[in-house]
Amino acid sequence: MTEPLPLSILLLARNEASRLETLLPALRFAGEVVVVVDSSTTDATREVAARAGARVFERPLDGFGPQRAFALAQCTQPWILWLDADERLNRAAEASIVRTIRGSGAERGFRIARYGWFLGRRIRFCGWRGETVLRLFRRESARFDDAAVHEQIRIDGPVARLDGAIEHHSYASWMECRDKLVRYAAAGAEQARRAGRTAGPLDVLLRPPLRFVRMYLLQLGVLDGGAGLVLCALAAAQVMLKYAELWALPGQTPSRGRAGD
């Protein structure tokens, strides 16, 4: 049996029992898997992760940046691979990770292509085309920012590119779309509020159609067929909810929008 790599898989999970049942067995090449479970989880996520041999921690979600920073602090291996429960490595990506960790390069972090899937269909446009994400890095060279949503990893040192890709199977069901849309809109509004940004009626009125036009026409979402149409419409709806919530937050004074998408 091949010895596991000196690699920690970093995973956040909320009601992800079914996905973890298929994902975790495919990660046995890593020395450890660290799963931080959102304390609002109501399914068997904790039990599924523990049965698969993962190190499981539970913590209230106070933003994705702080949650990932907590998870990073629990990792013990020198290399970290950040994955989400709805992501899968293809074979080329796994082979590239193995070669990289067994090598001796000077790079501190690595980016990899990510292909998006929506309701079972591969999305090739809508702004998702050509996306790369920084997911493999040396533990001592990395830190997460404190963003509530769309968190970023900061790397001290050179960054290179891995072969292969991550397959991102987001929004497997319509109910999941609805749930994530509301949660991400609320988190985005809170993040904007913390940054001192404000919103008003023009944001709620104008930003959603502008987002739709950008994704569906300028970024060629029309070429993704019906799935592209629904995805772009949902993105516009999320923008509307974000700015409506930001406008309606306690203490908010309506003003011309200054919050970035």
Instruction: State pLDDT tens for residues 10-48.
Output: 999 999 999 999 999 999 999 999 999 999 999 999 999
Q: What's the predicted TM-score (pTM) here?
A: 0.83
Same domain, 140 and 185: no
- 91-149 pLDDT, tens per residue? 999 999 999 999 978 999 999 999 999 988 999 999 998 899 999 999 999 999 998 88
- Do residue 83 and residue 187 come from a single domain? no
Cα–Cα distance for residue pair 163/181, rounded to 1 Å: 31
Q: What is the pLDDT of residue 250?
A: 64
Map tokens 């989880």 to a residue.
41
Q: Which long-range contacts (CB under 8 A, 24 or more apart) does 224-232 make?
A: 224/121, 224/123, 224/124, 224/125, 224/126, 225/121, 227/118, 227/119, 227/121, 227/123, 228/123, 228/125, 228/126, 230/118, 230/119, 231/118, 231/123, 231/126, 232/126
Examine residue 233 and state whether it is found in any structural domain, yes or no: yes
Residue with tokens 């913390």: 194
Q: Say if residue 159 is in the same domain as residue 190.
A: no
Radius of gyration of the chain (CA): 19
Residue range of the domain that includes 69: 5-170
Confidence bin at 256 (pLDDT 50/70/90): very low
- Residues 114 and 238 both lie in one domain: no
Give the pLDDT of residue 104.
74
Residue 258: the pLDDT is 45
Same domain flag for 147 and 40? yes
| pLDDT, tens digit (0-9, with 9 covering 90-100), for 47-82 | 999 999 999 999 999 989 999 999 999 999 999 999
Q: What is the pLDDT of residue 44?
A: 97
Domain count, the chain: 2
Q: Where are the strands (E) in 124-215, listed by range? A: 132-138, 142-144, 153-155, 159-170
Which residue type, as a one-letter code, is found at position 119? L
pLDDT of residue 254: 46
